[in-house]
Structure 1
Amino acid sequence: MSKKLLVVIDMQNDFITGALGNAQCRAVVSNVVKKVNHTDADIVYTLDTHGEDYPDTQEGRKLPVKHCIKGTPGWELIPELEHIQEKTHFEKNTFGSTGLAEWIRKQGYTEVELIGVCTDICVISNAMTIKAFNPEVEISVDAGCCAGVTPQSHKTALDAMKGCQIRIEEWMLKNDDKMLTSDRQ
């Protein structure tokens, strides 16, 4: 029997409209919301989580833009996804969450799909971490519900994941919000 999980990666204000927001990330918000609202899978989400000491961390020295500081508006889920706040979530102060990967193993999921931002940093890191902890779980990423720092880095990350046996899909919701389709690659 299949047990499905949808993982929503870092759909936080700072990645959409805040300190690290970009047009690509803003463009996938409606796809992400539709996917969340129409899935039959269980849902969890991640929150990129930093403290006030962010500038003193390795990431902060390499990416000197304060973002996702716990308790700030930028750290919160985007308003369009506030309805999933009560679901299980994983705070992470690095790109991939080993806690999430271990939790997936313990819960016995057989299929895991990832959506969110940024494809080239946190989506790929979580996909690879989940794969390392759960080598027999079918892992997929919905390209139409993800965005990278740039369109090219998004594509590069998708190609890298595909090479590591992570299925890349493009999910589409028809205008009547009833017919779901998937173009598997």
Structure 2
Amino acid sequence: MRKILVVVDMQKDFVDGALGTKEAVSIVPKVVEKIKSYDKNDVIFTRDTHQTDYMQTQEGANLPVEHCIEGTPGWEIDENIKALSEGATIVDKPTFGSTKLAEMIKDIAAKEDIEIELIGLCTDICVVSNALMLKAFMPEVPISVDSSCCAGVTPDKHDAALETMRSCQIKVY
């Protein structure tokens, strides 16, 4: 069975930039090792991608911190991970969950048996959103999250998101 790794939003702004946390910085070495354990053809990266009008959007009104503006240094994949993303599939997403990502993986699942593993940032926003969307698109595909390769906005929100995913039959370890 093919195992696909989804690396969610490991971008400078979420690691040590505008919305970075010490927890996000601390997972980077584990994320690097996890990515290296997969064939490059089985790794899909997502990038949170906003435009210069971010502050005028609904998200910007609710999270008024400019981040991941396309083309800026904060939008780039973290420097420790960037080389591993070269040549891999990258999905730019304008919001928390990506229907494009779910459709892409659903097409793969239609042709072969797969499992999906998610890692990245932030556990309580984009990781949980994509995990639940993938589960909704493919309820019979095994989906897991490596909690040691994720960090939330806060440790409590990280734990709450992990519990939500467990409740929705996503394996968390």
The structure richer in helix per residue is 2
Deviations along 1:33-81, one digit per CA (max 9) or x if unpaired, are 0111123571010000000000000000000000000000000001111
Partner of 2:2: 3
Partner of 1:72: 72
Whole-angstrom distance in 1 between the partners of 2:8 and 2:73: 17
Whole-angstrom distance in 1 between the partners of 2:37 and 2:3: 13
RMSD: 1.0
Partner of 1:107: 108
1:145 to 145, 149, 158: 149
Partner of 2:81: 81
Count, aligned residues: 168
Partner of 1:54: 54
The answer as to 2:156 corresponding to 1:167 is: no
Partner of 1:155: 159
Partner of 2:94: 93
Whole-angstrom distance in 2 between the partners of 1:52 and 1:64: 13
Alpha-carbon shift at residue 96 of structure 1 (Å): 0.3
Give the partner amino acid of 2:103: E
Give the partner amino acid of 2:34: K
Write out the 4+ residue segments of structure 1 that deviate beyond 3 Å after TM superposition.
none
Whole-angstrom distance in 1 between the partners of 2:67 and 2:103: 26
Give the partner amino acid of 2:61: R
Whole-angstrom distance in 1 between the partners of 2:150 and 2:94: 20
Give the partner amino acid of 1:6: L
Give the partner amino acid of 2:69: I
Q: Specify every segment of 5 or more residues in structure 1 that has no aligned partner in the other structure, as ranges.
A: 170-185
Alpha-carbon shift at residue 85 of structure 1 (Å): 2.7
Give the partner amino acid of 2:107: K
When the two structures are superposed, what TM-score results if normalisation uses the length of structure 1?
A: 0.89
Q: Per chain length, whose mean CA-contact separation is higher, i.e. which structure has more relative contact order (CA < 8 Å, sep 6+)?
A: 2
